Structure 1
Amino acid sequence: MTQDHLDTTIFGEPPPQEPSRRRRRQRERRRGGRRLVTLVIAVALVGVATVTAFTVLRPLVSSLVGGGSEAEDFPGPGSGEVVVTVKQSDSGEAIATALRDAGVVKTRSAYLEASAADPELSAKIQPGTYTLKKEMKASEAFGFLANPDNRTVARAVIPEGLWVSEIIPRLSKATTIPVADYEAALKDPEALGLPSAADGKVEGWLFPSAYEFDKDVPAAEQLRQMIAMTIKELEKAGVQPDDYERILTVASIVEGEVNGEGDRAKVAQVIENRLNDPNGPTVGMLQMDSTVHYAVQKRGRAGTTSEQRNSDSPYNTYKVKGLPPGPINNPGAASIEAAANPEEGPWFFFVAVNPDTGETKFATTAAEHQRNVEEFNQWCRENRDRC
């Protein structure tokens, strides 16, 4: 019988032996390793789920916000041609939508990102028509719009003092809209916003300026904008609505008579002095050549002939007292301001002694005026083809 067997027989089963410290550490390391592997696997699964969810949901989110990121941009440079119109009131959002809908950029946000990267350049984009390519890179489309050389716009320049009969052909030429469309629009003055005091006559109400009309703006809307500009200038000059027509009529005569900017308010005062004194040197008549030019619808010569001054037209202020029936042209802002605020003075006469330079002399008496007229006659003798 061995010693082990003897011990077992005498004392029973030996107690379990305590594991060594090294074995305990080994078992703990194995358990820790299993926990780490489990954690790594869990993190990996979460990562896969996140990527999958982003990939699946991203198109939906992009469609909801109206765009995407740089990844949803065309590589460019694009091909073909497509015309896009930027309107006066268009925001960056509106431009982005128009470009996307026209197939120029792939997403709205691709354009908006390019625009936001350069706010100063973005602010330089002007209304007009642009011919771009389809499937352009958004940054390149943005740069194209920001370059004014790429802009096409119908620009109509209307100088001060033109008659309506001269303005309409200019508008038609600039916009390619037929003259007949403008003439048709003029038949409905109320729709154009023409004040009732004008009695349906648009002469005087088409404000002279440089206009840039979008290609889809109809003739009636163009005329409406011009009339609105005239009303704005009347308001700016402090004119009350009841006086609109009268002030415009005076302003149109000032416009037709004056070349020098500094003389407008003085000419306006001459008009008022003659109107306010029916017993004065002109017995209440304006005696303005510009009104006679309008009556006979002829331009190009200084002064008027005896035959023209004998016209029975109500616009012939050599025969008819008071103001003519309405404006004789379409005056600008300076003449409107002068008519609304004349320069106080006693003058009853004036004459442009040199129509080339616009030099104008004013007088209180007929004798003084006659001396000034002689200077004008001398100019006419030297320029016979222009008098």
Structure 2
Amino acid sequence: MTGYGRGSGSEPWHPEDPLYGDQGWSGQQTDGSPHHHAQQPQPQAHPEPHAQPYGGQQYQYQEQAAVYGAQQYGGQQHDGQQFAGQQYDGRQHSGQQYDGQQYDGAWDTGQQAAMPYGTPPAPAAPYGAGDPDPYRTPEAYPPPQPPGQRRPADQQPGYAEEREPEPEEENHPFFSNGDGDDADRDDPEADDPASTRSERRGRSRNAKGSKDSKKAKKRKSRNGVACLVVALVLVGGAGGVAYFGYQFWQSQFGAAPDFEGTGSSETVQVTIPQGAGGYEIGSILVKNGVVKSQGAFVSAQSKHPKGKNIQAGVYTLKKGMSAASAVELMLNPQSQSTLIIPEGRRNAWVYEQIDKKLQLKAGTTEAVATAEAKNLGLPAWAVGHRDVKDPLEGFLFPASYPVAKGAKPEDVLKKMVARAKAEYTKADLEGKAKSLGLKSPWELLTVASLVQVEGKTDDDFRRMSEVVYNRLKPTNTETNQLLQFDSAFNYLQGESNIDISEAEINSNQDPYNTYTQKGLTPGPISNPGIEALEAAMNPTKEGWMYFVATDGMNKTEFAKTHDEFLKLKDKFNDSKGRG
């Protein structure tokens, strides 16, 4: 059995046969490739009686696919030019020689079928006889080309000359050679031999005429404009990068903008809310024109050893201050436009301080409190009690409150009542009152207000709370449910006198006099703080019934029986020089 193209017949090996090697088209390269070897026609194994000059196969001119006539094809040009490396039986055609190789009919052009083995070909007519030579007409077909050298129709030699020249695609002027001559770069035939390329370029330029020179001038103009635009863009981009780079460096490593000095003569009141940190405080100061930047204030606050001690409140500051000066002034209590309420102060004292802070006539705030008590936000359990001298007593919670210039008294009072209400809710006064045998949180608040005034320390508060609860018991036979607190009588009198005569006390029947009236006072007698509240809710259970400030001021001692109490009383008299 014989393989494809390897029989003993007249058909040569097929060019696409894997074993064909470098013969056929690959062996007839004319472009200077390293595999260029002119192939000689192989002798026929079985010569036919009617062998054709084209290797036993008739060349069908009308069945070819490419155009002859002034066209270059893979380095081979017809019509007045020599076919390089190929010859048609050594004969010349119209002044053209096909030298080097004889066309043997083995080209696989897809235009003809292989002849059956042993079939004699038809006699060939002499060359030039019969029909006129088709190669002399523009419609003539060129000889077949090897598959590897075939080109699309728009790249065929002479294609550009057979159609109307299309507008040349405009290249970016920045990448042109500056003289408008880009033909060599865009020409698909640029790899052709120099002689044919020169002739084709000449024809192309002649066809274009004067348009090339005009386009060249336009390209030169566009080149200049493009270079100018690119230069401007580069300069602008470099400037932008430098600017933003400087800004980034300043934000990360440079000092924040800051004023110098202690500020101008113009002052401004600034309110710092509760819980505000350095960045929030700095932002508020910047908005009010006190400091120049938030970063400068935060930096100055962090460098000051007491910078973190800046509290909420209203501060009177100067405009245009350096951040360090602002921090220093805010740490000075004189700059604060705040009202600080200490623990145990009565409402009468608070009203006076509000009038002074708001520069109001004395008694203004007290009159507002009396008239607007029900509209200031008191809880329901604090309203409607009998014989109460001040319904707001116990609800002006001890704390620091910002009081800005021009504020109204009722606004300041509302803030204080709201703070007290929040603290009492948090402490759960209602729940604790029931567990202690009290009727309402109002009574628990009253107990806390009593111990707040009498005691000095947390231990004092807890023991005094136990004294109150033990004396309120119905089984109390020591004092018969009389509290006997000097602080309650002083509240009644509007005084703070520790030395009160028994005749004066025993003759007064006011509900707030705990020497003559059993049980608690009608309401709180001060504004207790958190410690007094907690002590009132968590009293000791040691059996205390009496206490005496034996030194007359700070030292408080406790007793469980009346006899122990008498000993403490003698000690107190001795401290006063009463023998």
* Alignment TM-score, normalising by the size of structure 2: 0.48
Q: Distance in 2 between matches of 1:259 and 1:269?
A: 15
Q: Distance in 2 between matches of 1:271 and 1:150?
A: 41
Contact in 1 for aligned 2:315/2:337 (Cα 8 Å): no
User: Residues 254-281 of structure 1, C-alpha deviation per residue, up to 9 Å, x if partnerless?
Assistant: 1222234421111101100111235521
1:188 — aligned with what?
A: 372
Q: Distance in 2 between matches of 1:74 and 1:340?
A: 52
Change (3 A) 1:305 1:173: farther
Aligned residues: 324
User: Deviation of residue 313 (structure 1)?
Assistant: 0.2
Alignment gaps of 5+ in structure 2: 1-175, 182-218, 239-253, 384-389, 434-439
SS of equivalent residue, structure 2 residue 558: strand
Contact in 2 for aligned 1:182/1:219 (Cα 8 Å): yes
Q: Distance in 1 between matches of 2:575 and 2:327?
A: 52
User: Deviation of residue 249 (structure 1)?
Assistant: 0.7
Change (3 A) 1:84 1:346: same
Same amino acid, percent of matched pairs: 28
Change (3 A) 1:246 1:379: same
Q: Does structure 1 residue 374 correspond to structure 2 residue 555?
A: no
2:329 — aligned with what?
A: 148
Give 2:551's match in structure 1, choosing from 348, 354, 359.
354
Q: Distance in 2 between matches of 1:342 and 1:225?
A: 30
1:311 — aligned with what?
A: 508
The one-letter code of the counterpart of 1:283 is N
User: Residues 156-210 of structure 1, C-alpha deviation per residue, up to 9 Å, x if partnerless?
Assistant: 3433322222222133334434434412430212332222333371112222334
Give 1:42's match in structure 2, choosing from 226, 229, 238.
229
1:249 — aligned with what?
A: 446
The one-letter code of the counterpart of 1:37 is G
Q: Distance in 1 between matches of 2:567 and 2:398?
A: 35
User: Residues 349-375 of structure 1, C-alpha deviation per residue, up to 9 Å, x if partnerless?
Assistant: 222222233232222x22222222222
User: Deviation of residue 81 (structure 1)?
Assistant: 3.9
Contact in 1 for aligned 2:458/2:535 (Cα 8 Å): no
Mapping 1:107-256, distance limit 5 Å: 111=293, 120=302, 127-133=313-319, 142-148=323-329, 152-186=335-369, 187-199=371-383, 201-240=391-430, 243-256=440-453
Higher relative contact order (CA 8 A, sep 6+): 1
1:18 — aligned with what?
A: none
Q: Distance in 1 between matches of 2:295 and 2:362?
A: 44
1:333 — aligned with what?
A: 530
SS of equivalent residue, structure 1 residue 162: coil
Change (3 A) 1:87 1:158: closer
Q: Distance in 1 between matches of 2:299 and 2:228?
A: 41
Q: Does structure 1 residue 88 correspond to structure 2 residue 272?
A: yes
User: Deviation of residue 340 (structure 1)?
Assistant: 1.6
SS of equivalent residue, structure 1 residue 165: helix
The one-letter code of the counterpart of 1:191 is N
User: Deviation of residue 314 (structure 1)?
Assistant: 0.6
Query: Which of the two has higher C-alpha Rg?
Result: 2
Contact in 1 for aligned 2:403/2:412 (Cα 8 Å): yes
Q: Does structure 1 residue 291 correspond to structure 2 residue 483?
A: no
Q: Distance in 2 between matches of 1:198 and 1:295?
A: 20
Q: Distance in 2 between matches of 1:340 and 1:87?
A: 35
Q: Distance in 2 between matches of 1:132 and 1:255?
A: 40
1:61 — aligned with what?
A: none
Change (3 A) 1:349 1:144: closer
Change (3 A) 1:112 1:239: same
SS of equivalent residue, structure 1 residue 171: helix
Q: Distance in 1 between matches of 2:398 and 2:539?
A: 21
Q: Structure 1 or 2: larger helix share?
A: 1
* Alignment TM-score, normalising by the size of structure 1: 0.69
Q: Distance in 2 between matches of 1:369 and 1:304?
A: 18
